[in-house]
Each structure stands twice: as structure tokens, then as C-alpha cells.
Structure 1
Amino acid sequence: MVRLSALSLCLATLFGCSTAQVELPISATALEYEPDWTSIYYSKSQPLLIGNDGSAAAGGFHTFSLNGNSSSLTEVASVAPGRTKLMTVVYNVGREDLIISIDQPTSVLRAYKINDLEPIPSIKTTVLGDWSALCTWKADSGDQYLFLFGKKQAKQFLVRRRRAFEIVEIQTFPVPLEVSSCAVSLPAGRIYIGADDDSNVYSFELAESTANPMMDVVGGVNDGITGLAIYVGAEQDYLLVAETDVIAVYTTSLELLGTMELSGAQEIEIQGLSVHQTASISYPSGAIAYALEYDDGAGFGVSSLQGILPQLNLTLNTRYNPSNRLAHFANGGDGDDPAIWLSPVSPDLSRIITTTKSDESPSLGVFDLTGKLLQTIKAGEPNNVDIIYGFAVGNETRDLAFAACREDNTLCLFEITSEGTLRTISGGSHPTPIEVYGSCTFKSPSSGKTYLFVNAKSAEYLQYELGSTANGTLTTTFLRSFTAGSGGQVEGCVVDNENGWLFVGEEPLGLWRYDAEPDSDVSEGFSVDVVSTSGGNLYADVEGVTLVPGKTNDEGFIIVSCQGVSAYNIYRRASPHDFVMTFTITGNMDGSVDRVSNTDGIAVIGNALNADFPNGFFVTHDDANELPEGGTSEEASFKLVSLEDILGAEAVASLGLLGQVDTQWNPRSS
């Protein structure tokens, strides 16, 4: 079973109390620079080491690939705004990852888009002073802050995007030393600072406040501090302290666990320490990066952690990745099922539509990709929701949202505008003879007609054809009924339009497949899988069912939620739908997003949407929304996980699952 967390996969624990000394060889270098500072950009496809150039002749900063296979780091790009000492990475500011730097001649803060180093004209702020350290912090609110340190003072800035990107100064506050190093613990919400002429490590709590922070002396180390970095463990963080040619590993209370001594050159001095924990092609156990001076020159160095931490009685944690995102949002009531609408205007304007079936406020909710509620529209206790693309309504083509509404046992339909909002439509309610429960839609590849499926808990399925009058009123025509599965309670369903298959979840037993065409034989279904107690891979209750399209009709995957164990099964789309794996979703490391429990409805999309979701995302209902301060919310929530973190995760990457997803899927093409 593969476990997924809010950041990526479930984290291994880093622990130990050894004071052993180990050798840390230099794995790769890039020389002929005047270095002081490094930063790491986490990316599954192209992780980068970013290093400054303090030379008067060139200046600026450079990016180097961490996927190289030689002892020389490969430069990817560079910019030269002037002699530069500091730069850092901020993630997901207005859906962009940025490099923030400050040059020394003019003390100007600048920002660049990470992918092409395109400068952002609206961020060009002069901050006079002699600055020597720069760190970034993302608050629980999602706001991104910078801390710029100099001679016994620090400045805090907010980096945000409204109509344009901007940096806003929040406060200036005193610090007890001339800071030369800083490191942020995101899970703990603390920043650690040090100086090369002081053996003490200082720390303060990070908060969204204009009050001067309270400075704590954490403790002393053996020598002056030339670099600080945080190694994130599952239960606590560890402080890496560079002391000339040695990197000491401490707990955050400064208990020494061990030391790593650099080797491979003479007279080594390092500073500007940074860590890349996620496994990459060249560094499967992660790596430590630093600015480097030694007898052969100066530049940047990287050391592989392969085989290093076990020598210190520490367990590797290659799962941490600050760039991975799990969003979550409250549904405002008894939520149950989500659907994803792909915008025809721009992928990043796509929407998540959810159901609320409570008596107090039965409705459909519309959210953007950050989990911000944009709209609610009254509906009669909708249970499941699905999307219909490009349906001919009168003389126009429209997208529709379809739900089974339990309040009056009707088929409910709403128009989706091009802006991604819902509105009522003529003929949007149609009675049924059953107590409706689950529902899904089908567009026939042969006839082009659109059909609506709705079921009752008794396993009775009804199929209707959706139509429209000349004046734009929706109509439905009943076509057939059948009993699904073995007659146990059913709810979740999804249709593979290209292959004409209806997949049905029978809650106590398993997953079934039927032909979706209205004239097909449904007297006997195909059993895809059964629950474990009957010898299968599923777990009761079998709830939501969804499909992510592939590049061909045989590629792609069926995903099924297993409510009883709060897990999800993945099956291949191609018949006979081989079982691939089971995964779960746990909370993120700082506790701001809880694990998924008692899961119900699910939806998935594989399209490239934005910087957060370059390979689409998976959204799931979470019934028991545990609060960071303790207790459980009365509101259900939904959790969003990048599809890359599921199908492209390290533990399953060898299966090539992510490469089978159609990132350019167009539901309006047929």
C-alpha cells in the first residue's frame, strides 16, 4: 500500500542520537564563481541548485540542474542584474514559483519566474542596507513572507499577487547579531539564525504580526556558523550547521547527533548551506548544496546523502517536498461528491463543483482551484454531481451540471457559464419513480447522444436520454432499467465514454462494469474486483468511482474510494482492468491539513492546469475534518492532491503511470 501525505508520500521518521563522524565526499562542483549563498528549487522534473555570483565583472545568480550525471554541475540559466549575494525561492505566488534576489550595488529586491528567469517588472524594490541573509516562510494562511537580515536588523516582507506581483514591507525589527545564515522550519513555524563570528544559534517564532518577535538563544555550537539548513523529519526537524569544513547535525534544541566532514579537496570552506531532500535522478537519497572555496578555486558544490545518514543512525526522509500542495476547503454542510469542470477559456479557471445535501442548506457549491468558494446555488439535496460538456440546447452549445436530487427524487440540471458559475435552465428538473441516490452521465461515441444514469439504494438503475426542444428547454426520455451488481446497495458510478462502459460501485461487494449503450445486454455485468473478504483487493464500503483519461482508449485509470479504510484503489482503464495499487491521503506535516477519513465521492482530471497542478489533480470528500486546534469540524471538506504526487510518486514511478495520462484531454472535441 502506498501512503500519500499532504506534501507527497507518507514521510519516514528521521531519528537518532549518535555523535558519530562520517566522511561527506564532494559529488559535483561548478567553479569560477564568487559564491556566498545557495538555494534549492524542488521540482520532480527539474530540481535546481541556485547560487549567487558576487563578482563585480558579472554578478547575478545561476541555476544548475540536480539531475546531472557528472562531477560538473550543468548550468541551466543565469541572470546578471549586478553583484548579488542573496536569493531564495517562493512557491505558488499567484500560481507562479519565483526566485527573489537582492543585488549588492543598489540593494534592489527583484523577482524572476523560475522556469525561464523572466524578470517581473512590478517587483523592483530598493531596500537600503548591507544585507547578509534571506529566508522565506509560507504561513498557514497561504501568504508568502520574506525575512531579510543585515547588521543587527531584519525586515519582513509580504510577497503577493493581486493585479500584479508586489512586495510589501511589513516591519523592521532588531536582531542581536549580524546574521550571516538563516533557515526556516515550516512544520514548526520557526526561523533559526546564526553568524560566522558567533557560536550561538538564535530562533524566533514565525507569526503574521507586526509585533517584534521574541528572540531565543537556542544554544551554542563548536565554532562560528557559516551556514544553516533544516532537514525535515516526520515528527521533528533537524538543524544542519556548517562550521567551515564540517556540517554538524543537531536537534532543534541543539543536541548534537553527529557530524559530516567534507572530503575530496584541501582547505575546504563552505557557507550558504541548503538541502534537497526529495530523491532525484543523480541523488536518490537527497543532497546537500553549499557555496564552496578550496585550493582549486571557488564556486558551488553538492554532496550526495547516499549512505550518509544511516552512518549517523538517522533514517532518510526523501518524501519531503515544499513545492507539493494539498489544498482543502470546507463544503459548508453535509458534503458528499465533487466534480471537476474544465474551463474552455483557460485551464487555471477550471472549477470544482460539490454537493451539499443537508436539510439546512441543500445546494451545489462552486470553488476555484485554490479552494475558494465562488458560488452556492440552491438544489434539492443533491447527492452526486457530474459534468456534461458541449450539449446542444436549442441553437446553442452549453456545458451542464447534472445531479440526483433526493429532496424530490428528480434529475437536476444546471447550466455552467463560460465563467464557471451555475445558473438555472429551462427544463432543469425531471421526476423519477425511484428514491434517487447515485448518478453519472454518458455521451455515446456512436450516436453522439447524451444519457443520464441514476440509481436507487436497491441497486435499480434507470437510463434516460437527455434532449432539448427548439426553444432551449431540456427534456428527458426514459429508456431502460436494470439491477446492478448482485443487488447490494449501489451509489458511485462513472462512464468511460470512448469505450462505452459504465462502472458501478456496489458498496458491500465490489466494482462492476456494464455496457452503457441503451440497447446493450445488461443481464450480467463484468466483475472488475471484489472486496478483500471475498478474495479481492477492494475494501467496503465501495463509494466513489472516477476515471482519468489516457492518451488512447486503452490508457488511463479507474479510481475507486474505499470508505471503510479511507483508501483508494487504482485500476487500469483497459479491460480486464488490472489492479494497480492502493493509496491513502494523510495530513500535511504542520498539521494545518488533516488526513482524509470516511471518504466518499471523488473526481480526477489529468490536464495541465496551473503551477500547482501541472499534471492535474485528484479531489476527494473528507467526512471528518479534523481541526489543527483539536476537535472535528461540523462541516465536511474536500481535499485536493496533485495527480503527479499519486501516479508519479517515487514508489510507483517505475510503473510509468503518469505518462499514460492525457494532459491535453478535450471533453468538447466530440
Structure 2
Amino acid sequence: MRVSRLLSLFVVQALLGVSLATSSKKFEVTLSLDGQTSIVESDSVAVYHPKKGKYPVLFVGNDGSAETGGFRLWDLYGGKKSSPKELAAFKTGRSKLVEIVYSVGDDEEDYVVTLSMQDGIIRLYEIEGKEGKLKYAKEADKSVRGDFSALCTWRSKETGYQYIYVMGKRWVYGYIVREKSDKRRRKSDKLEIVETQEFALPVEPNSCTVTDGKVFFGGANGKLYSFPAADSTAIPKITDIGEPAGGDEINGLKSYHGKDNTYLLVGIEDAIEVFDVKKLDKSIGTIKFADEELELNGFAVYQRGSKAHPDGTLVYAGENDSGAFFGTSSLTPLFKSPSKLKANTKYDPRDCINKHAKPKKCSGLSDCNGYGFCPKDSRSKKATCDCFPGFAGSTCNKITCPDNCSSPSQGTCTGPNTCTCKAPWTGEKCATLAVPAHYETEESGGADGDDPAIWIHPTDRTKSRIITTVKSEVGSGLGVYDLTGKRTGGVTGGEPNNVDILYGVNIGGRKVDLTVAACRADNTICMYEITPAGDLIEIAGGVQQLPKEVEDLEDGYDVYGSCVYHSPKTGAYHIFINSKSSLYLQFELTVQNGVLSTKLVRHFYAGNKGQVEGCVVDDPNSALILGEEPYGLWSYPAEPDATAVGTLIDNTVIDGGKLHADVEGVTLVYGKTKKDGYIIVSCQGYSEYNIYKRTAPYDYVMSFTIPNNNEKSVDRVTNTDGVTAVGANLGKEWPYGMVVVHDDVNEAPDGSARSSATFKILSLEDILGNKAVEKLGLLGGVNPDWDPRK
């Protein structure tokens, strides 16, 4: 996304170290692109300030691709014409987040921090060697639960602890990085990452930074928030600062340390706004970019000078017509502006650290056994330690686990918040069923898939087809596969996100089945005819532009998710389209002279106006079931003349429910009656799927995940998105139907990753009829004879 103009102002004054009072007018400067890396899927970047004269100036950037995913390391000034020189690439799995931590342990070593979306592991790499050599601290690996979107670090002046904050959909985990101690409390040369906090956030952050004792974060709603950075396990007070960039989406946050003041740099769509951290109600300047087509995501500032950039360097994740990359710009133009600001090129992040800070001792409480903070008065007889998550007792000498790992039948607690589960159970509570997939589809031809659909053949169900989406620019369209995952066809399309099926639409006297999707490339509703053989072909009116009245409802409305509805009341066919803003549009599909046409008949905002995408409609019950990614699962009446009042089916764990954000794909399994059957929901951050009863009171049934199937060489599912299912008998291998799910990264047996996404195919009988849950009699809620055409 483009960095906001506001950034230029912030950077200028921040870099110059001039008080806000010295300049009453906003400045505006323009930076040119001085250097750029090769094409890489870029999102975030961190610049390393080396110890004086020891190492080259390095920066680390993420690599978000499936095949080469991880992070890369560059010498900032090592290339030709000031362009960076790539030193190394580390394949840790598709990633979005990177950062630096300084002066860890008694030896005060510096580390690169990265977090992989593929396996959810925080990894540390020690920076050593004049060529930027990194040493992997594997013993410090820490698994993170959930879908994450922001990463920032800070160092406590009170205890000397180095903190890492990982943020996701309305949640945050706090960790400390430290040298590991043995049973005798002796330090070692190995590191450990220990969780200290977990609490809810009011928004999904796109970025965060820590400065002046506060953690700042912001996201799509344009608001900026903060909470105190403190040595505590307590839930802090979160302050809503407002909309510093006029409500524009916040894509990046960094601080600049001037000689006298600290400045907050707020990146928005096409610029960066600069604020005095003590006065965040008014921007003092804006940084723009000479390339008006340049779009920016994360960014970082190197405050020291160099021959190429004597006043410092701005490094950013950018994209233009050539593709995505990491770019660099000299900050010198900032100091040639009329404001006459002066740069602070003496900055060293280590200067903010009290080298003598040590964790407080409380010997009367055994120093909390190293897994808690000491109370203010440790000598009081009533004093107890403030224990880290997973520890308990007055001296933090006991370990605990969530729900005691569903002990004893499903697992046991063997470490702090660490369960050892009994097969087939898995998950943080040993309450998730592990069900391997039978097959996976052949590669889709694109890196990003999403929500699939299953088309049931009218006469021979074994010839039914799986229809999948590729929403990335490369390979964009719909793929068609048989029930074992072999590709049989497909069509190119405009980046379809979700796909659904309408059966038996009367077109010129013919009964036609249609695929329906929201195509993001051209912001349309796109439809294709399904032939009796299961092929996709174009149809007249298959591309429907949004009507002009949509712009009156929401400026810049962009289609995102979609699902379809066949009304049992009127026989009319409907299409639901949503945007990330949660605005749902309901269209009636009609046919005029053999040409498809759509008419907007209803609109409403869903849930709590959090981001939405996945949805499915229960036709017989006229119920639209939709997922609000950061909050929960809802049911709305589907008829166009009904009042759009939603019923909450379940919410996320941080709100007291059983779902984990992101709440993504939603599908439905029909039963023998209108009350029988199940709703299946995918939870992206956990790669788990929750199952609920089809109708109110929507009782929670169970959850499952998809591990490796070594017998059939089908890999696990990671960072899942869309899901579809049918309970109909599709042949000998699928007597109770199947479930098809999106897999973000297709992992090969040798540990490598494929560039194209795949979809995994499971037997519904393996899930609902599993021996571990057979006493629940769940298969009785499925109708193997279900026919979508009746």
C-alpha cells in the first residue's frame, strides 16, 4: 500500500530533532527511489544499526512467497549506485514479519527476529561476522498460536528484559527473550522465549512500534492506539488516540529519535505522516515519493549517515509496475526544506538500554523461579509472585495448561501451557481431532487460493467436481478437479475469491448450473455455466458490473467474498457479495432473453463491522451464515424483505467463545430435516475447523485439524482459508460426502515448498464418524441422499 504524505512531515521534523514549537507550518518533502532490491514479495523491513565499526549496515526484509518464503538479508550500501547488495536468503516458510532485538544476555548480542505464517514459529538469528553472517538460535524457537499481522520489540529499563510483541486479529502476545538458566539458576549461552502476556485488542493491527514507554499500534480503521510497555502480566489499559491520518488505513509505524524530541512516523496509503510523540493530534509534516505509482507497506529508518546518504536512509517494502521489492531513499531532501531541520545521525538503539538493569530479586519468594515478576513488597507474608502464563503458585513453581489438556483421556500437561496429546487428539487443549486428508488437488497454477465449491453431478455422483479459486494475479481463475484431485479443466478469471454454485437456473428453457464468484481484479460478479460433463464455459451476462448506486452506499467499494441463495419462498436466485468493510450487497439474479442480469435488492452491514469474507446460505431455512474474521460467526435472514438483524452463533476465544480468529471459510452440511446437519467454519490462524449444529441454538459439536498423511504423501494444512463440504454420497470412498479445504503452502516430503497452492480432500465420515467421537452419533445428522436440485 502507498505510504501517506503525512510521513514526510513526521520524518522531516523527527529526523531534524526540532521541537514542534519551532515550526508552525507543516512541511512537505518528496523522496526519490535511490536503490531497490530484486523482485521479492515484500511486507515488512527492519534496519540493523551495527555496533560502531563492527559490521556493515544491514537490513532484513520478509519474503512472503510460498516457494522461497522466509527472510532475506542485504548490505544497505554494498551494491552499485547505492542499491543494496543481497547477502543471504533464509527459507523459514512464508513470512510477513521481521524485526531486530539488541543487546540480549550478558554478552549483549543482537538478533534478527522473524515469524513464519507457515508454522507459526518465532525464530532468532544472532548477527555475527563482518559480512552479516547469522547464527540460528534453534533452541529459542517459540510457537505462536493464531493469525498474526504485526511484530515489534522493546527493552525494559527496569529489568533489562528484551520484549517481543506479536499481534493478530484483536489479540496480542508478549514475550521476553533471555538467556536460559539451568535448574541451579545458572545462566547458559542458549536463549529462551517466555510468554508474559496475552490480551485482546480493539482492532487488527497492521503495524506496531514501541517508543517513550508506550506500544503504538494501528490498522485498517485508521485509528491509532497505545498501551504502556511494562514489566507486568496484567492486562493494560488501551488508549484510543484517534485518527492521526484522517481515517486512512495505517500500514506502518516507526519512531524517529531526534536530538530533543521523539517522533512517530505513521505510514498510510501513499505517504508518511510525522508527529511529535507528545502531541499526536496534529501532523507536523508529510513525506511523499517521486514515483506516484509507488505503494508502500512496512518501513524502517536508518538514522546514521553514510557516503551515499549522509543524513540517513528510509528503507521500505514497496511495489510498482515492476513488482514488489525493498527500496531505499536518502533522507537528505528533508533537511534542504525551508524548515531548516537538522538530522540526528548519532542515534544508537543501544543508548536507550540501561546496561545495569537486572530483574528484581525477591529471594523470599525464590525469585519467582524465574517465571514471574516480583511483587513490590516481597517480604510481606501475603506477597505472591506475578506469574507468567502457564505458571502458578506463590513462587511460580507450578505449571498449568488450558483445561488441563482435556485430561486424562485426551492428554496431559507436561509444561507451561504445553499439552502432550493422545492420538488422534491434538491442539493446545488436546480437544481438536487430527484427521488426515485422502488426497490433494494438483497444483492450481497460482500462489493464492481461497474458498472452493463442490458441484454434484446430476446423474452420476462419482463424476462430481471440485471447483477451486486462484485469487492471485498469476494463475487467476477457477480450477476444476475430479474427486481424487486430478485437474480436469478450468477457466481464467479476474482473481475470484470465493466460489459457490446455483443449481437449475432457467435460461432460455434450459436448466443450467452456474458457478458464481466475486472477481476482485475488475470488481465484478463473475459467473460461468457448468456443462453436464463438469466443464466451465462462458455464458451471456456472466460478468456483472456493480451498479452505480453501490458507490453511494460506500465510496470505493471493493468486492471480496460471496455466496448464493435459492429462495424456497419465491423461487428466486440471489447472490450475496461483501467487502472488507462488512457491507453486504444482496442481488437478485434474473434472465432476460437468455442473458444473465442482476439487481441490487438489499444491503446491510454485518456483525460488528469487522472484516468479513466467508459465507454460506442455508436455503431451506432462509439463513445466511457468515464469518466476521476478528469476532465470530453470525446468522442473518436471507430473504431480501427481511430485517437484517443478526444472531451470534459463536465468537472468538478472546471474546469468550470457541472460535479462533481469523474466522474465514463457512460451509454447510445438510441433514434429513431442516434442523439436522452441520455448519463448518475454518479458523485461519490455527488451521482448525469448528463444527456446529445447523440451526439454533447452534450447539458447538467439535473441532478438527488436518495433519500429514504419510501413507498417501499428502502434507498437512497450514494457514487455511476457505472450506466447502457436502454430506451427499459421492461413491464408495465418500459414502457420507467430503470436505475440501484450502492449504496455503503445499509442503513437499523433502521439506521444500511448492509455488502453487493446493486444496486437501477429506472424507466427512472420517471426521464425524471417527472412533474418538462415535459415541456422539454425529453421522446421524447427515443426509447421504441429499440432492441440491430438489
Q: Which residue number in structure 2 is paired with residue 377 of structure 1? A: 491
Task: Using the TM superposition, name which of 529-538 and 374-383 deviates more.
Answer: 374-383
3-state SS of the aligned residue for 1:436? Answer: coil
Correspondence 1:511 to 2:623:
no
3-state SS of the aligned residue for 1:337? Answer: coil
- CA contact 2:664–2:681 (8 Å) conserved in 1: yes
- CA contact 2:436–2:706 (8 Å) conserved in 1: no
- CA contact 1:356–1:383 (8 Å) conserved in 2: yes
Whole-angstrom distance in 1 between the partners of 2:710 and 2:494: 38
Q: CA deviation at 1:593?
A: 1.2
- CA contact 2:530–2:536 (8 Å) conserved in 1: yes
- CA contact 2:437–2:706 (8 Å) conserved in 1: no
Q: CA deviation at 1:634?
A: 1.3
Q: Alpha carbons of 1:512 and 1:325: their partners in 2 closer, same or farther (altered >3 Å)?
A: closer
Correspondence 1:548 to 2:654:
no
Q: Which residue number in structure 2 is paired with residue 340 of structure 1? A: 454
Q: Which residue number in structure 2 is paired with residue 661 of structure 1? A: 782
Q: Alpha carbons of 1:316 and 1:445: their partners in 2 closer, same or farther (altered >3 Å)?
A: closer
Q: CA deviation at 1:589?
A: 2.9
TM-align CA RMSD: 1.8
Q: How does 1:495-534 map to 2 (within 5 A)?
A: 495-522=617-644, 524-534=645-655
3-state SS of the aligned residue for 1:631? Answer: coil
Q: Which residue number in structure 2 is paired with residue 473 of structure 1? A: 595
Q: Which residue number in structure 1 is paired with residue 741 of structure 2? A: 620
Whole-angstrom distance in 1 between the partners of 2:423 and 2:690: 25
Whole-angstrom distance in 1 between the partners of 2:507 and 2:725: 27
Q: Which residue number in structure 2 is paired with residue 99 of structure 1? A: none
Q: Which residue number in structure 1 is paired with residue 482 of structure 2? A: 368
Q: Alpha carbons of 1:662 and 1:414: their partners in 2 closer, same or farther (altered >3 Å)?
A: same
Q: CA deviation at 1:628?
A: 0.7
Q: Which residue number in structure 2 is paired with residue 248 of structure 1? A: none
Q: How does 1:29-428 map to 2 (within 5 A)?
A: 326-329=438-441, 330-333=443-446, 334-428=448-542
The residue type paired with residue 332 of structure 1 is: G
Whole-angstrom distance in 2 between the partners of 1:396 and 1:566: 41
Q: TM-score, normalised by structure 2?
A: 0.43
Whole-angstrom distance in 2 between the partners of 1:316 and 1:440: 38
- CA contact 1:414–1:428 (8 Å) conserved in 2: yes
Whole-angstrom distance in 1 between the partners of 2:627 and 2:423: 37
Q: Which residue number in structure 1 is paired with residue 753 of structure 2? A: 632
Q: How does 1:573-652 map to 2 (within 5 A)?
A: 573-590=694-711, 592-652=713-773
The residue type paired with residue 464 of structure 1 is: F
The residue type paired with residue 444 of structure 2 is: N
Q: Alpha carbons of 1:565 and 1:510: their partners in 2 closer, same or farther (altered >3 Å)?
A: same
3-state SS of the aligned residue for 1:336? Answer: coil
Q: Alpha carbons of 1:650 and 1:408: their partners in 2 closer, same or farther (altered >3 Å)?
A: same
The residue type paired with residue 506 of structure 2 is: A
Q: TM-score, normalised by structure 1?
A: 0.51
The residue type paired with residue 456 of structure 1 is: S
- CA contact 2:444–2:475 (8 Å) conserved in 1: no
- CA contact 1:345–1:418 (8 Å) conserved in 2: no
The residue type paired with residue 396 of structure 1 is: R
Whole-angstrom distance in 1 between the partners of 2:703 and 2:437: 20
Whole-angstrom distance in 1 between the partners of 2:657 and 2:698: 13
Q: CA deviation at 1:361?
A: 2.1
The residue type paired with residue 773 of structure 2 is: V
Question: CA offsets per residue over residues 111-153 of structure 1, 9 Å max, x none?
Answer: xxxxxxxxxxxxxxxxxxxxxxxxxxxxxxxxxxxxxxxxxxx
Q: Which residue number in structure 2 is paired with residue 77 of structure 1? A: none
Whole-angstrom distance in 1 between the partners of 2:694 and 2:587: 25
Q: CA deviation at 1:316?
A: 10
3-state SS of the aligned residue for 2:560? Answer: strand
- CA contact 2:495–2:520 (8 Å) conserved in 1: yes
Question: CA offsets per residue over residues 377-433 of structure 1, 9 Å max, x none?
Answer: 111111100000001112111000000000111001100000000000000011124
Whole-angstrom distance in 2 between the partners of 1:480 and 1:394: 27
The number of residues matched between the two structures is 350
- CA contact 2:724–2:739 (8 Å) conserved in 1: yes
Detail structure 1 runs of 4+ shifted over 6 Å in the superposition.
315-319
- Greater helix share, 1 or 2? 2
Q: CA deviation at 1:611?
A: 2.0
The residue type paired with residue 499 of structure 1 is: N
Q: Which residue number in structure 1 is paired with residue 582 of structure 2? A: 459
Unaligned runs of 5+ in 1: 1-314
Whole-angstrom distance in 2 between the partners of 1:375 and 1:381: 17
Whole-angstrom distance in 2 between the partners of 1:557 and 1:325: 20
Q: CA deviation at 1:376?
A: 2.0
Q: Alpha carbons of 1:536 and 1:416: their partners in 2 closer, same or farther (altered >3 Å)?
A: same
Q: CA deviation at 1:590?
A: 4.1
Whole-angstrom distance in 1 between the partners of 2:563 and 2:697: 22
Q: CA deviation at 1:324?
A: 8.6
Whole-angstrom distance in 2 between the partners of 1:316 and 1:654: 18
Whole-angstrom distance in 2 between the partners of 1:404 and 1:318: 37
Correspondence 1:489 to 2:614:
no
- CA contact 1:410–1:436 (8 Å) conserved in 2: yes
Unaligned runs of 5+ in 2: 1-420, 426-434, 551-556
Which residue of 560, 567, 579 maps to 2:688?
567
- Greater strand share, 1 or 2? 1
Question: CA offsets per residue over residues 219-253 of structure 1, 9 Å max, x none?
Answer: xxxxxxxxxxxxxxxxxxxxxxxxxxxxxxxxxxx
Question: CA offsets per residue over residues 172-221 of structure 1, 9 Å max, x none?
Answer: xxxxxxxxxxxxxxxxxxxxxxxxxxxxxxxxxxxxxxxxxxxxxxxxxx
Question: CA offsets per residue over residues 359-389 of structure 1, 9 Å max, x none?
Answer: 1221110000111111121111111000000
- CA contact 1:339–1:603 (8 Å) conserved in 2: yes
Whole-angstrom distance in 2 between the partners of 1:403 and 1:317: 39
3-state SS of the aligned residue for 1:653? Answer: helix
- CA contact 2:436–2:707 (8 Å) conserved in 1: no
Q: Alpha carbons of 1:538 and 1:367: their partners in 2 closer, same or farther (altered >3 Å)?
A: same
- CA contact 1:324–1:612 (8 Å) conserved in 2: no
